[in-house]
Amino acid sequence: MKRIDLKVGFRCNNYCRFCVQGDKRESLPAKDVSELYASLEEGRREGATGLVITGGEPTLHKSIVDVVRRARELGYELIQVQSNGRSFCYEAFCRRLIEAGVNEFGPSLHGSTPELHDWLTAAEGAFLQTVSGIRLLKKLGQRVITNSVITKSNYRDLPALARLLVSLGVDQFQFAYMHMSGRAAQNGRWLAARKSLIEPYVKRALDVGIAAGRTVMTEAIPYCLMSGYERYVAERVIPSTRIYDAGMVVADYTAARKQEGKARGPRCTQCAWHEECEGPWKEYPEMFGWSEFEPVRVKEGAQARCAD
Ligand code: SF4
């Protein structure tokens, strides 16, 4: 186990239409700082050197700076705050996080315009705050890695979003196909796009980042829909992670994803990627079926690009 993912609470100032957390924001209080410290200590005892602080929106937790400081004292080397990014527009707050020990920031941006991002997050003004936050963090010399959720509403915008992210100076960006759980499950019928439809836009957006020398990734898009871009499949490199969730611990997130979260189809055993591939989130074929997942005969594309 290399990394822990610490969920500090589920309050949030966005109301994303693809949020996987369902009604946890209403039903669960923020975790007490003593519980958070205990999780940090257990993680270190088990050998983790990486920490991702997340939620909900973790920057709304009143003790977040203390949690970061405690993590640094315990010896965590990588300390990332994964956030909707709105709080990062406040310079004094960012400086406190950096001084306490944060060395990687993970804001989310889901569209290249205020209209699109604010609509997807159901939060007027969110785009302006998150973009300002990214600019500020880069001005402060911080490493910024972003996540963007792919939906039917924004897949055509991905190349423009990639251009914006490059211009903002992000170090890495990732496009993650929406996981139809929580509110995303309620909205899935009209918000989820077919993966074969998004494929050319995802690849054009990745090309923007690749040409600019940025690290780029995709998540929850299997290899058969990433022909020529297989090296950018994030599941290849996601580190071994334990999740401290609400009232429960997921000891091995990779195993949980493979055994419970994802699914493989009836023809996947014929595929050259069968061993490595996790398949799509299981809700996807329940909605769209398996016809788009064409078994790959040889891994030629990946080898050619991996040798770059
Ligand atoms: S194993 Fe199945 S889902 Fe994965 S790449 Fe092959 S055909 Fe696609």
Which ligand 1 atom sits closest to the C-alpha of 265? 2
Let me know: does 100 contact 72? Beta carbons within 8 Å.
yes
Which range (23-27, 66-70, 95-99) has the least confidence?
A: 23-27
Q: Residue 164 — pLDDT band, cuts 50, 70, 90?
A: very high
Number of domains observed in the structure of the chain: 1
pTM: 0.95
What would the pLDDT profile of 250-279 be if each residue is shown by its tens digit?
999 999 999 999 999 999 999 999 999 999
Q: What is the CATH number of the domain that holds 159?
A: 3.20.20.70
**Residue 115 in domain:** yes
* Residue 222, ligand 1, Cβ within 6 A: yes
Q: Residue 301 — pLDDT band, cuts 50, 70, 90?
A: low
Decide if pLDDT at 234 tops 50: yes
pLDDT of residue 24: 87
DSSP 90: -
Task: Report the C-alpha gap between 178 and 181 in whole angstroms.
Answer: 9
pLDDT of residue 1: 75
- Mutation to probe ligand 1, out of 223, 235, 258, 288 (largest number of atoms < 8 A from CB): 223
* Residue 301, ligand 1, Cβ within 6 A: no
**Residue 131 in domain:** yes
**Residue 284 in domain:** no
Let me know: does 191 contact 155? Beta carbons within 8 Å.
no
Decide if pLDDT at 209 tops 50: yes
* Of 182, 150, 167, residue with least CA distance to 280: 150
Where in the sequence is the domain holding 214, given as residue range(s)? 3-261
**Residue 297 in domain:** no
**What CA–CA distances, in Å, run from 306 to 45, 194, 299?**
36, 27, 11
Average pLDDT, integer, range 233-250: 95
Torsion of CA 289, 293, 295, 296, to 10 degrees: 180
Which residue's CA lies nearest to atom 3 of ligand 1? 279
Q: Supply φ then ψ for residue 30, to 5 degrees.
A: -60, 145
pLDDT of residue 129: 98
249-250 and 145-150 beta bridge pairing: unpaired
